Chain A
Amino acid sequence: MIANHILSIAIWSPIFFGILLLILNKKISIRKINYVALFGALVSFIVTIPIYKNFNTTLSTFQFQEFHHWITPFNINYHLGVDGFSVPLILLTSFMTIMVILISYQSQKLKSASYYSAFLIMSGLMIGVFCALDSILYYIFWEAMLIPMFLIIGIWGGPNRIYATIKFFLYTVLGSLLMLIAFLYLYFKSGTFSIIDYYYLPISLEAQILIFLAFFMAFAVKIPMWPLHTWLPDAHVQAPTGGSVILAAIMLKLGGYSFIRFAMPISPDATLLLKPLMILLSLIAIVYIALVALIQKDMKKLIAYSSISHMGFVTLGLFLISPLAVEGAYIQMISHGFISAAMFICVGILYDQTHTREIKKYGGVINKMPLFTAFAVFFAMANAGLPGTSGFVGEFMVILGSMKENFWIAFTAATTLILGAAYSLWLIKRVFYGDIGNAVIAKLSDINSREFLILGSLASLIIFVGVYPKIISDITNSSVLQFIELVSFSKVEML
């Protein structure tokens, strides 16, 4: 009985704990709230493990499917299922929620119950996005997920949080509305909201292009792709640490995941037609955004731009449409989840003590926080794509994959080796190395065991995936092949 609802449990248990926290708010002490939140996150993580354990990697079909009629007049169903693209992201989501709860122990003492609850609910909703096989169900999870994030930035964010939240919200809602229109079109064409059915639905090229563009607006904003990226640095700078972590680690991945799930297989001919444009936008993101990152004065902005640049590898890999590149793009998504989260957590740890993110106000942190610096240097190296860390795997595979397409694509993408190292290590040099910069730095104290646990587990995962990426590719392999097959399959000829 439980085995049949494994996905529902993964979705609803964090939401249950989130609601529980809202009920318990102000009824029990903050200390207990902390424990309940952590317990909830742990349980929510543990219930996702069976999804990975019992996942059959040889199948390319959707597994653990759950189907209930929901709004029968419109043929909307509660239909869940996962393939190789969903499983690692689900685990990443539930794992990151633990990290976020742990990291928030100190920085958000006020109203912590509702703060934690927002993260737990959001975690459930995001897992919902990764599981949904009905487009309306997917759409609901997708939109609902915005609300907690909106609150996290809007309530617990920095001084300019209102501008940032509204920008974030308008950007994403505008995209999602176009996506809804695409779903409605597909519904009227096929009479169903089932995503699997859409894969085999014949569509004319003109309609495919429109559908693709509608999806593009929704997903490209999320990833974000150049030139739809300007909301992200603002959102990151204003968001509290936990918000940034989830935003970078999971939310951006929703865009990449949705390209794989919707835009590309549903409109394969349009994908092939627009492939050069998409590759161009990705390359711009990789080079241009890396250059922009170099000059940033705010640590969080720098890491935000670095995120966009790294996500450029995801879109580049996806639109190269070869198994190696797509797999590389996917591993890049997971890896970026760990690394960007770790880097935002590092900034958060510093910010908690100094209350500034301006690079200029730092210098010589290593003298006071040697252990923390060791982690920061490691994460910066991972961010710069050092082999042996997960940051290398995806970039390497995408560069190899792009060589197949064209030498110059590989050439342009490989500049990240230089630029990525430049902005990551220059940041390290200015913030961590040197003599103690000022009186604030002189008062810093090194990380405690809780922070060590967080950074240590992220670092271990980064090394593990870097040394043995097969653990991810084994899960995704058959789904990648299926995906390539769907995208290379012309729907125009079916007409």
Chain B
Amino acid sequence: MTILNIFTVIPLAPLFAACFVGLFGKKLPKYFSFGVPIFGVSIAFALSVYSLYLTLYGFKLNETMYTWLASGGYIFEVGFLIDTLSAVMMVIVTFISLMVHIYTISYMKDDDGFSRFFSYISLFTFAMLMLVMSNNFLQLFFGWEAVGLVSYLLIGFWYKKPRAIYANLKAFLVNRVGDFGLILGVALIMFWFGTLDYQEVFNRLPALHSQDIVLFNTSISLVTLIGVCLFIGAMGKSAQVPLHVWLPDSMEGPTPISALIHAATMVTAGIYLVARMSPLFELSDFVLSLVIVIGAITAISMGILGIVQNDIKKIIAYSTLSQLGYMTVALGVSAYSVAIFHLLTHAFFKALLFLGAGSVIIGMHHDQDITQMGGLKKYMPVTALTFLIGSLSLIGTPLFSGFYSKETIIEAASLSSAWGANFAYYALVFGVFFTALYSFRLYFLVFCGEERWHNIRRKKNEHGLKSKEYPVESSKIITIPLVILAIPSIFIGMLLIDPLVYGNFFDGNITVDNKIHTNLDLLAIHYHGVWSMAVHSFFTLPLWFALAGVLLAWALFIKKIKINFKFLNPFKNILKNNYGFDAFNEKYIAKGILKLSDFLSSKVDIKIIDHTFVNGSGRLVNYFANKLKLIQSGYIYHYAFFMIIGLFLLISFFVRT
């Protein structure tokens, strides 16, 4: 078995499992439905860890599996690039996927679509692995769209819910807007670089980096245009403003996939793409500044929205949006390794939070409104504790994983000299406050305080606890993944910050132009190990902002201090309407396109082209035929008369010449 074959097994094992369960799952006993996918993902996980182990010792593989197409001198291939960057992603994807697979056994146990669900999440694992393992843009695009497909299928998993099938269509279409940018970027690369292979593209970058092309009669840098196009793709998948609108709605899907797809893995594909393309993005300050500004706006504005949500999953969804904004800012300030580092820690604690939310949702009998919960700590101790760990990690409590990654991003932004970095720094610092506020509002309302679910009267078919029912801790199959995820949520940050951010782990796979972007070197000068970083944080703003957020949440929701928020009323509606993005899209874009379609269909196509020209020419022929048929009178002397006239005209014509 060659080494390439081993890597081929990694994506194919989940694919095989997905096909097997998809085709036969319903006919076989239930343990096949989860056994086969878990086995497949376990293989993928084990081999991914092995790959990471190999790459740690300098192993790097960039090889073609087969030629997809060859045409006109261009060659399109399917192949793998295994280096530290992709190996880290592979381990994240397969590990979270494995946890979610196990968790799902219990979470979906009574659902009719049990085997269908396993088939989908295994298929997702395959697609995501193809995306991160790819060594070229073609396969990247395949994985990119394939994860979008599975996301579409899973958001609409409960296809009877009108909101679910609205959300999945919306998610796919908004993602397609991003993909539209991505494919243009890929086409530009294909045309100018003549290849879609990453390494080849990087090799040819120096020659093309000052190339200009003309658009709108002005010439702009090719690298900038490609960067903008690729970033539009990343914005779609990683849900950056204004293409973020699909992610909150995607919460209509079952909770395990919110953890896997819409928190830990798929939505980070855009981050991964930009990090992977670091040699290209480094060449355009314009694109980097765009990335910073978009990321900063997403981080702060989506964090604020987290405060006004009452649906437990929606809060975590807005939190994910905000954290993706943090990663994006990191990319923009050239701290690619830090972005990947935050992607890693975020994958653990956000998956933990989502799975914890799922556990709460089961405990509450599918009621998701946090204002109707309360005091669950007593009934669901494991869920509460692990949820607390996740929240502490998220808000950046010193020594927790999230602290190291987020603090480093903020530091990197503060040290950056890029245009927009200053704005981003303040946005991120204020973002920390809001993160702490919404996280602990959620935690306090759900797990502490009075048990509000006692007082709610429900109709027979409504979700939620009935009177005299009590929430119970979820089964071990659910709590064990929570515990397993809680461990890295605490420790992985301090373990990995040295090699990932300050070591040479990503050397050669992530490129930073140290001469222009000096912030990382400055960062390294300030860094003196994990302990001193924790101590140092007491002298920086973010920690105090986080503390302020927690305290405010505590005052409002535990102490129930009445603060007059009337002065915030003007903003309340704006926040409740999510800044009006949805209303705008609905009212102007969707309606506008439908109106245009209707006009083109009924006016242009049917009226002008079909009725006027097509049937009109038919009528014209008819009209003349009606006139001409009068000549066909049937009388011989009429015909003889015409013949004589004709003969006369012909003769006179020839005689004249």
Binding site for B on A (CB under 8 A): 167, 170-171, 227, 230-231, 288, 291-292, 294-296, 322-324, 327-328, 364, 366-367, 377, 381, 386-388, 392-393, 396-397, 399-400, 402-404, 407-408, 410-411, 414-415, 417-418, 421-422, 425-426, 429, 432-435, 467-470, 473, 477, 480
Contact = CB atoms under 8 A, between A and B. Distances in A.
Interface stretch (B176-184, B421-429, B480-488): B176-184
A387 B146 contact: yes
A400 B187 contact: yes
Contacts, number: 137
30 contacts: A167-B614, A231-B614, A288-B604, A291-B601, A292-B597, A295-B598, A322-B72, A323-B71, A364-B159, A388-B145, A392-B145, A396-B138, A397-B71, A400-B187, A403-B187, A403-B190, A403-B191, A414-B183, A415-B180, A417-B180, A417-B183, A418-B176, A425-B152, A425-B169, A429-B169, A433-B159, A434-B159, A467-B68, A477-B71, A480-B72
B165 A434 contact: yes
A403 B186 CA distance: 10
A107 to B, nearest CB: 28
Chain B: interface residue count, which band? 35 or more
Given A407-B215, A421-B176, 5 more contacts: A170-B618, A323-B73, A387-B144, A400-B190, A400-B191
A145 B597 CA distance: 34
Interface string B140-181: 011011100100110010011010011001001100110110
B228 to A, nearest CB: 12
Contacts of B173: 418, 421-422, 425
A294 B71 contact: no
Interface in B554-579: none
Contact of A469 (B68, B74, B159, B186): B68
B650 interface: no
B461 interface: no
Contacts of B71: 323-324, 327-328, 397, 473, 477, 480
Contact of B159 (A227, A328, A366, A411): A366
Given A415-B180, A417-B183, A421-B172, A433 B69 contact: no
B149 A381 contact: yes
A400 B156 CA distance: 32
Contact of A470 (B69, B72, B176, B604): B69
B160 A291 contact: no
Contacts of A469: 68-69
B191 A393 contact: no
Contact of A230 (B74, B144, B149, B610): B610
Nearest to B156: A433
B600 A288 contact: yes
Given A417-B183, A418-B173, A291 B69 contact: no
Contact of A323 (B72, B159, B605): B72
Contacts of A467: 68
B651 interface: no
B230 to A, nearest CB: 14
Contacts of B159: 364, 366, 432-434
Interface in B78-127: none
B67 A327 contact: no
Contacts of A433: 156, 159, 165
A318 to B, nearest CB: 14
A429 B165 contact: yes
Contacts of B207: none
B522 interface: no
Nearest to A301: B601
B596 interface: yes
A387 B145 contact: yes
Contacts of B600: 288, 291-292
Contacts of A434: 159-160, 162, 165
Determine which residue in B73, B160, B213, B215 has the highest number of CB atoms from chain A within 10 A of its CB, and name it.
B160
Contacts of A404: 191
